[in-house]
Structure formats: C-alpha cells, structure tokens
C-alpha cells in the first residue's frame, strides 16, 4: 500500500478514536447532569392553583393568571420536574377581553385541566366578567376554543370528572343549600352532571360536603377521582393564607355520602408557624404516572426575611395511596408529611427542557411566552423590528386599573437582577419610559427616564384601599437619548440602578423596601412582575420608547 494511502487510513483511524473518546466524554457529561433529586418549587414565581393531567407519557399543567393576559399558562413535562411553557388557554381577545376596570386579583381563578377521548378541557372562573366556563382544544399548545359559559353554576374553582360510563360531572364551590353563614367562612362542595362539550348542566345539584370539620372554613378547589373502585374527593380548605390545607373525603358511591377521612388534613403546614421556610400549602391536584405511581402538585409560599415576595408557587410531592379505616387515603411525602425543598425525583425518564433565556434581544417576530400584559390590549401598541421592541406612549398608567403600555414577566427568584436598555427622548414632562416592578396598581416601583431626568417613583396604597399618590423617591439629571436601567433585588431590599451603558451602572438612591410588593403588604392573589413601560400620563402622544434588550438574571 502506498504511503499516501497509509497516511489517509491513519488519519481516519485517529478521527474514529477521537470520535469514540468524544462520545464517551459526552455520555459522562450527560450522565452527570441526570439528577437523582429535584428542587421545589417546580414552577417558581407566580404560578398558583396548579392542575395537572397526563396523556400517555406526557404531563400538562395549567395555573391561575388573574388579571394578566394571555391567561391560563400551560406547561408540558415528561418527568414532572422539568417544565416547558407551551402556550395559553386564553390567547385571543375574541375569547375573552379583560376590560379596563377589572380589579387587582380578579380575572381568571383556579382552573382544572383534563383530557378525555382526544380532547383537552380547561374549566375555570372569570371573576368580574362572566363566571364559570369551559374551553377545549385538540392541542394543549393551542389554539383553544371560545368559552362555553355555564349557566346556573355559582361559586369558583370548578372541576370536571368522567366516570367509567363516560358521563361527566361538575364539582364546584359553595354552600348551595342555603346554609351559608352558619359559621364564619362556611362554604362547601357541590356536584351536578354536565355536558362538557356544550357547557350545559344536567339534572339536580347536590351538596357533597362543607369541609372536614363542623367549623371548616372556605372549602374550595375540588377534584374528584375514582381509585380502585372508590370515589375520592380532594379539596382545599382554610383559605389561601396561613391555615391553608388539603383534605379528602371518601365514598363508595358517586353521589355520596362523602365521609371526611380520619387522616385530615392530609397535607398542611398550618401547624409549623410563619417561621417555616415553606408555608400556606394547599389547592392540590393528583396525577398517576404511567408506572402507577402517584404525585401531587399544589401551591405553597416561600418566606424570605419574614415576607413572601414571590406569591404562590407550584410545588411537587410524592403521594402513596393507602387503604385505611376510612378508605383510600393519600399519604403525602411518606415519612415526612410536609413539602420538601429537595427530594428524590419521580421514576420517569429525565427530560430537561430549554431554560428561559436570560436576555431577550427581541430578534423574533413575536414576543416570547414569558411576556404578559395587564388586562387585554385592545390593539397592538408595540412592534418588534430590527432586534428592538418599540412601545407607544399612551395616556394609561400602571397606577390605574387599565391596560397600560407595560409588558412584564414574572419575578422567579428571591434575588435577581433585571435590566433593560432604553432609547427615548422627549421635551414633555408628562412623557416617561423605563423599568417597572409591579404587584398591583397601588404597589409598585417605577424607574423612568423623563425629558431631562431619571426618576424613581414609589406607589403605595395604604391597606389597599382608598386614594394614593405616587411619590418621587429620587431624581437625578440625565442627558442623552439612551439609558440602561436596572433593579437588583436581594431578599426584601431592591437597589435601583441607572447609567449610559450596562457596564457603568450606579445607584440612584439607597436600597428601597422590596416588601412593598410582598403578600403581607400588597395582599390578595396575584404575583410580582418586572418589565418595560411607557406612558404619556393622561395626554395623547405620538411618541414611543425603544427597548434594545431586556435581561432577567436570577442570583
């Protein structure tokens, strides 16, 4: 064989050896990244009231969204730990337009997602605009149907259950038998047959329970299951605050009687006090894996320095189905009985998903799924062009119950840095644009560029009632069209930053009190958003603000 041929053969042998070594190295890296445990919460940030279903080997989850649009965020997972947002149940103004005036923490309450014979169903409540409705889709990513509004369906937190004969049943919240008020916070769970494809209730309503004890408060969030031939009714109780809990009821027959399980509450942290790092657990849903194991998703809150700054988040817990004196009894995290920050992951193929991009360069034709609006935009007042987003200045402000020119994403960490590069100029004092941290119209921070200044504005509504006046916390002269604005959050402190470029940021004032947006101060049900904002404060304007990029980095 010629020397040239030998050289070529040797070269290919070296390539083959190198390839084998590379594959071996990659296999080791991949093996090292397969975690044996998982961290709670599985959906950090504002993701309350989770509901889950499984189709084959894939899991789908939906959460409440209240006044934020698009509504009903939907995630997908193969392993119950790694979740990818794939769409929204409410994604078109023709479905529901969240009107101006829709109050803080009104809008879309606790949904339930279920799958039956090729169709996905989401049933939920629109507080302030219409009541309970069902939407359907053959693809959980969307599009979803227009709502089927359900007549004569009082209360909140509806759910659907199909029995073995294919008939479907609606479970809802309320004391429908006239006994409401018998004790403070008395509510209950009722049931009625329903045609889920028309949204029509059939036959008579029946009260199933008022809660697990004679003075139980705020029974809500019902889900009905059939396990080993027995009916299991799972609900939330005690309100979504300190005394939240999960309770279950057993029945041999569909229509009851439903007997309070002797193990109740089967999951709660109410006895641990406010110093425990995870609290206010409740509003659970159950799912059985393709291997026959049971797991539960539920909401809970994490405390930092005595405050809840991320609102209600979605957690995961193992469940063991046992058969005790009362009947089928779910045991949550056997041997522990509490939600855990870290535990052994489900016995499912580890399936990581793409991380949420830290920096959005606005180089796509549409906004990413992380971005939301307050209420529904009645027209498109922003545009994406040439790697930038241009936002029109409009009269509406974040201090009103309207749809302002504000585009935000959820805060997902106790410590994070949010920043954006802004190109904006104006000679009018009413025109402003910049960065906003928002919890509600009366509780927010605004770091804005004006005609000749950078200003930090704080909004605080005492007791969430009555009038309030946004206050200028700090103001510094600033010339030039471009500015970088940032907010660095550490626990219950936030440092606001500004500069002409991202490598030269400086504080505008001393760190501010981030507990302004906490549950303890702002109260109610929604969560914290941070994002881009532009306003002309009550006066029509032709001006706009251009944002080159937005970055969110958890620390």
Domain 359-554 has CATH 2.60.120.200: yes
Of 195, 54, 171, 73, which Cα lies nearest the Cα of 115? 54
Catalytic residue among 49, 285, 313, 519: 49
Kindly report, as residue ranges, where domains of CATH 2.60.120.200 are found in the chain: 359-554
- State the pLDDT at residue 12: 39
Output the six-digit token pair for 118: 């090729």
Catalytic residue among 67, 79, 157, 220: 220
CA angle 165, 170, 174 (to 5 degrees): 150
Of 512, 503, 325, which Cα lies nearest the Cα of 421? 503
Listed as own residue / partner, the contacts of 171-177 with beta carbons closer than 8 Å and 24 or more positions apart are 171/208, 171/222, 171/223, 171/224, 171/233, 172/132, 172/222, 173/219, 173/220, 173/221, 173/222, 175/207, 175/210, 176/205, 176/207, 177/207
Mean pLDDT by 10 residues, the chain (555 residues): 40 41 41 82 98 98 98 98 98 96 97 98 96 98 98 97 98 94 94 98 98 93 97 96 95 97 97 92 98 98 95 98 95 97 97 96 96 96 97 98 98 98 96 98 98 97 87 96 98 98 96 97 95 98 98 96
Is 57 catalytic? The answer is no
User: How far is it, in rounded angstroms, from Cα 340 to Cα 332?
Assistant: 11
- State the pLDDT at residue 7: 39
Give whole-number Cα distances, 533 to 218, 288, 406, 408, 476, in Å.
Answer: 38, 43, 4, 9, 19
Assess contact for 155 and 208: CB atoms under 8 A.
no
Range 418-431 burial, b when 16+ CB lie within 10 A, else e: bbbbbbbbbeeeeb
User: How far is it, in rounded angstroms, from Cα 209 to Cα 250?
Assistant: 11
Give whole-number Cα distances, 135 to 144, 249, 327, in Å.
Answer: 6, 28, 34
Is 452 catalytic? The answer is no
Range 231-253 burial, b when 16+ CB lie within 10 A, else e: bbbbbbbbebeebbbbbbbbbee
User: How far is it, in rounded angstroms, from Cα 27 to Cα 34?
Assistant: 11
Domain 37-344 has CATH 1.10.274.50: no
| Count of CB atoms situated within 10 Å of the CB of 436 | 26
Assess contact for 279 and 269: CB atoms under 8 A.
yes
CB neighbour list of residue 181: distance below 8 Å, 6 or more residues apart: none
User: How far is it, in rounded angstroms, from Cα 26 to Cα 8?
Assistant: 27
Assess contact for 299 and 61: CB atoms under 8 A.
no
Q: Are strands 245-251 and 58-62 parallel, antiparallel or unpaired?
A: unpaired
- State the pLDDT at residue 18: 43
**pTM recorded for the entire structure:** 0.93
Kindly report, as residue ranges, where domains of CATH 2.115.10.20 are found in the chain: 37-344
Distance, CA of 470 to chain centre: 28
Residues in the chain: 555
- State the pLDDT at residue 275: 87
């Amino acid at each position: 064989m010629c020397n040239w041929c030998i050289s070529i053969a040797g070269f290919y042998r070296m390539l083959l050896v190198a390839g084998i070594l590379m594959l071996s190295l990659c296999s080791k890296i991949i093996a090292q990244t397969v975690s044996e445990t998982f961290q709670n919460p599985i959906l950090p940030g504002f993701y309350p009231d989770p509901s889950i279903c499984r189709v084959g080997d894939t899991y789908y989850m939906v959460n409440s969204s209240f006044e934020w649009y698009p509504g009903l965020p939907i995630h997908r997972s193969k392993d119950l730990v790694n979740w990818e947002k794939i769409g929204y149940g409410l994604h078109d103004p023709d479905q529901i337009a969240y009107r101006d005036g829709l109050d803080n923490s009104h809008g879309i309450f606790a949904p339930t997602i279920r799958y039956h014979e090729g169709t996905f169903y989401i049933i939920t409540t629109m507080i302030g605009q219409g009541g309970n409705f069902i939407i359907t889709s053959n693809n959980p990513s969307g599009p979803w149907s227009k709502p089927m509004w359900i007549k004569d369906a009082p209360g909140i937190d509806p759910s659907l259950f199909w029995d073995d004969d294919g008939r479907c049943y609606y479970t809802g919240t309320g004391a429908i038998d006239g006994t409401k008020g018998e004790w403070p916070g008395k509510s209950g769970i009722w049931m009625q047959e329903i045609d889920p494809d028309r949204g029509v209730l059939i036959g008579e309503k029946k009260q199933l329970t008022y809660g697990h004890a004679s003075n139980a408060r705020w029974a809500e969030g019902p889900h009905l299951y059939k396990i080993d031939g027995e009916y299991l009714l799972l609900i939330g109780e005690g309100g979504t605050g300190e005394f939240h809990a999960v309770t279950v009821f057993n029945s041999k027959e569909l229509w009851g009687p439903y007997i309070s399980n002797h193990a109740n509450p089967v999951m709660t942290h109410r006895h641990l006090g406010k110093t425990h790092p995870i609290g206010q657990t409740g509003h659970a849903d159950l799912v059985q894996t393709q291997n026959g194991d049971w797991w539960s998703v539920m909401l809970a809150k994490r405390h930092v320095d005595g405050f809840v700054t991320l609102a209600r988040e979605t957690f995961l817990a193992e469940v063991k189905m046992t058969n005790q004196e009362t009947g089928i009894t779910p045991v949550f995290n056997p041997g522990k009985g509490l939600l855990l920050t870290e535990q052994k992951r489900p016995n499912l193929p580890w399936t990581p998903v793409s991380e949420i991009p830290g920096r959005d360069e606005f180089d796509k034709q549409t906004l990413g799924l992380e971005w939301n609006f307050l209420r529904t935009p009645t027209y498109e007042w922003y545009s994406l062009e040439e790697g930038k987003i241009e936002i029109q200045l409009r009269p509406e402000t974040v201090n009103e119950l309207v749809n302002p020119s504000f585009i935000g994403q959820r805060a997902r960490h106790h410590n994070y840095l949010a920043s954006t590069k802004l190109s904006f100029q104006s000679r009018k004092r009413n025109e402003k644009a910049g960065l906003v941290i928002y919890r509600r119209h009366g509780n927010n921070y605004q770091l804005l560029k004006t005609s000749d200044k950078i200003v930090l504005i704080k909004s605080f509504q005492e007791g969430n009632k009555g009038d309030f006046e946004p206050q200028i916390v700090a103001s510094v002269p600033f010339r030039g069209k471009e500015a970088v604005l940032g907010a660095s959050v550490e626990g219950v402190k936030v440092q606001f930053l500004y500069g002409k470029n991202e490598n030269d940021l400086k504080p505008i004032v001393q760190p501010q009190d981030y507990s302004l947006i906490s549950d303890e101060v702002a109260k109610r049900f929604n969560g914290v958003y941070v994002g881009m904002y532009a306003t002309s404060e009550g006066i029509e304007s032709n001006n706009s603000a251009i944002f080159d990029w937005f970055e969110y980095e958890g620390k």
